[in-house]
A and B are shown apart, each in its own frame.
Chain A
Amino acid sequence: DGGITQSPKYLFRKEGQNVTLSCEQNLNHDAMYWYRQDPGQGLRLIYYSQIVNDFQKGDIAEGYSVSREKKESFPLTVTSAQKNPTAFYLCASSFGQGNEKLFFGSGTQLSVL
């Protein structure tokens, strides 16, 4: 079955530690996205990638980094520079041709120890 897979479901980060969230899709989508969701707030865009080897900052990119070495994969690293990382992180993908119906992964809940 085609879909978008995020792992892990739950992740804990210690102070000063970098952690990486995985996102894989087999929908043959060109575009991929990372969103952050906090209680009572809308989804906020962290980074997005329209094509392999290219990515752009979203609205809240500080403290995060990404790579897009393969079409199927768009991992997100939460660095120690992100001082408030506790949130629900959602990865999404789309065809990237104008009508951007997003398909979402099941999310990763990141918490700080």
Chain B
Amino acid sequence: GQNIDQPTEMTATEGAIVQINCTYQTSGFNGLFWYQQHAGEAPTFLSYNVLDGLEEKGRFSSFLSRSKGYSYLLLKELQMKDSASYLCAAQRNDRGSTLGRLYFGRGTQLTVWP
């Protein structure tokens, strides 16, 4: 199977910085996604990393180390609206298929306090 691990819960205060870690053990790995999901709503795409390094996009950045099976999502200048679940997903291609399947972690519930 695929093992995707991330913390269950995190808390932070408005204006702070928070780092959400994700480790994975996925054969045939070919990319790492982060999604944001507010309660009862659809997950929305935040970032995609396929090469090692940091990808910055506004207040959100994502890092990948393929050799360590590790990624993190960095959220800066936290706002109340950032309170949500953050889902880490590793992509792999099943043998003989061109379709990349995503395997999701359980999500990290982030609560931002005023």
Contacts and interface: CB of A to CB of B under 8 A. Distances in A.
Interface in B31-77: 31, 33, 35, 40-45, 48, 50
Interface stretch (A12-20, A63-71, A99-107): A99-107
Given A50-B99, A97-B98, A106 B106 contact: no
A107 to B, nearest CB: 6
* Interface residue SS majority, chain A: loop
B97 interface: yes
Contact of B42 (A44, A90, A99): A90
Contacts of A96: 98-99
B15 interface: no
B99 A42 contact: no
Contacts, number: 62
B60 to A, nearest CB: 15
Contact of A102 (B8, B40, B41, B102): B102
Given A100-B91, A104-B42, A107-B41, A42 B97 contact: no
Interface of A: 31, 35, 40-45, 48, 50, 88, 90, 96-107, 109
